[in-house]
Amino acid sequence: MSDETVVRMAEIEIDPVYLEAYQRLLAEEIEISVNIEEGVLALNAVAIKGYPEKIRILEVYASRAAYEAHLQTPHFLKYKAGTVGMVTSLNLIDVEPLMMHSKP
Amino acid sequence: MSDETVVRMAEIEIDPVYLEAYQRLLAEEIEISVNIEEGVLALNAVAIKGYPEKIRILEVYASRAAYEAHLQTPHFLKYKAGTVGMVTSLNLIDVEPLMMHSKP
């Protein structure tokens, strides 16, 4: 992981009425982003147990430029436009990677 | 990722006096765990920007048994014993994986 790496944590709350639709849009956006964008290294989305509407996403980008490019992709814009009425709370937290280690 | 996968988020706050020592112990524990324990799939530790003492770790285990085994390893016990006086707050949040996708 280089010094350039950009890591962010998103804390998102979803209107329960739209939870299934939101999950579908999020899963599609994550799959496409990691598969086709070279600079999107990982997108790990989880929900707090017992509170499926409370979502946390750990996002890892190769660089600031990769992150900015991601925001302009058709799949991200589709997700953003499609979910705007579903999200009741969004908290974006910039974080510094300390030690990120996964099985290859 | 199987249905058995156990994912957890730890929210940890460190006494700033011990921050460097804590980071060293954490980095060592993460490296050894992911390298030698088959069932420890990923440990991703980050700190909130501007608040290096506020740490978040996303932990991914292959199963409940793998998680329980991890808690008994010498390297985890060393980390736990070595950091007990450094941690001022520890909040363990059980989460459900929604979509976890990383570059291979």
Q: What percent of chain B has pLDDT over 90?
A: 94
Give the nearest partner residue to A55 out of B42, B48, B98, using CB atoms.
Answer: B98
Mean pLDDT of all residues in B11-15 = 98
CATH of the domain at A90: 3.30.70.100
Contact B30, B44 (CB under 8 A): no
Q: Is residue B101 part of a domain?
A: no
Smallest Cα distance from B28 to chain A, Å: 9
Number of Cβ within a 10 Å radius of residue B101: 18
Q: Is residue B58 part of a domain?
A: yes
Q: Is B31 on the interface with A (CB under 8 A)?
A: yes
ipTM summary value:
0.89
Compute, in degrees rounded to 10, the torsion defined by CA atoms A32, A4, B41, A23.
Answer: -30
Q: Is residue A40 part of a domain?
A: yes
Residue with the bigger pLDDT between A40 and A2: it is: A40
Return all residues near B26 (Cβ < 8 A) that are at least 6 apart.
A98, A99, B45, B55, B79, B83
Q: Is A77 on the interface with B (CB under 8 A)?
A: no
Q: Is residue B33 part of a domain?
A: yes
Contact A104, B104 (CB under 8 A): yes
Query: Does residue B53 have a pLDDT over 80?
Result: yes
Helices (H), chain A: 19-36, 64-70, 74-83
The boundaries of the domain holding residue B22 are 6-95
d(C-alpha B16, C-alpha B25), whole Å: 15
Residue for token digits 């420890």? Answer: B40
Query: Does residue B86 have a pLDDT over 80?
Result: yes
Please, which pLDDT band fits residue B104 given cuts at 50, 70 and 90? confident
Mean pLDDT score across all residues of chain B: 96
Q: Is residue B50 part of a domain?
A: yes
| Least confidently predicted of A2-11, A49-58, A77-86 | A2-11
Q: Is residue A99 part of a domain?
A: no
Mean pLDDT of all residues in B26-53 = 97
Q: What is the three-class DSSP state of B56?
A: strand
Contact B103, A41 (CB under 8 A): yes
- What pLDDT, on the 0 to 100 scale, is given for residue B1? 61
Query: Does residue A104 have a pLDDT over 90?
Result: no
Q: Hey, are the CB atoms on B95 and A23 less than 8 Å from each other?
A: no
Q: Is residue A101 part of a domain?
A: no
What global pTM score does this model have? 0.92
Q: Is residue A102 part of a domain?
A: no
Query: Does residue B2 have a pLDDT over 80?
Result: no
Number of domains in chain A: 1
Tokens, residue B21: 């020592």
Query: Does residue A1 have a pLDDT over 90?
Result: no
Tokens, residue B48: 């909130």
- What pLDDT, on the 0 to 100 scale, is given for residue B41? 96
Mean pLDDT of all residues in B70-90 = 97
Give the nearest partner residue to A56 out of B30, B48, B95, using CB atoms.
Answer: B95
